[in-house]
Amino acid sequence: MTTPDPDGMLAEQLLRLTRRMHRIQKRHLEQRLVGVTPAQSRLLRTLAHCDAPPRMADLAQRLEVVPRAVTTLVDGLETSGKVRRVPDPANRRVIRIELTDDGHKAVRELNGARRSAAEEILAPLTEEQRTLLGGLLDTLVDGAPVRERTC
């Protein structure tokens, strides 16, 4: 008889929760007709947290992807009018990426979809349980309270 692996069970629960959250968020996005992929939504949210338009290389580093992947994402978002490439004022050879008005609108929709999905997931929990879960998740994410990072 083997003994149960509590850490393995927790890991499986976390993976199942992540998949469920992704499915629910995707459904909420589709209902809002935002028209972006999950990868594009991640790039848009990252841009929204930057103090100034970042370079493509900065985005690639922040998203932990290769620069070519960022180029493909930016191409699609630029085609749909959500971002634009702008020259760096200090060095015209450098291109920066900024949100357009449509991009800002998409970010608001994305944030609304995330909130709706989170509300759906968290509905069975009491306020006390939500607070406890938030603290536990902060600890798991980086060992300290979550702080917003800028580019």
Report the distance separating Cα 117 and Cα 105, nearest Å. 18
Structure confidence at residue 8 as a pLDDT band (50, 70, 90) = confident
Alpha-carbon gap, residue 29 to 111, rounded angstroms: 10
pTM summary value: 0.75
Share of the chain above pLDDT 70, in %: 91
User: Counting every residue, how long is the chain?
Assistant: 151
| pLDDT digits 0-9 by tens, 50-78 | 999 999 999 999 999 999 999 999 999 99
pLDDT above 90 for 142: no
Q: Please choose, from the candidates 5, 50, 25, the residue with its C-alpha nearest in 3D space to the C-alpha of residue 150.
A: 50
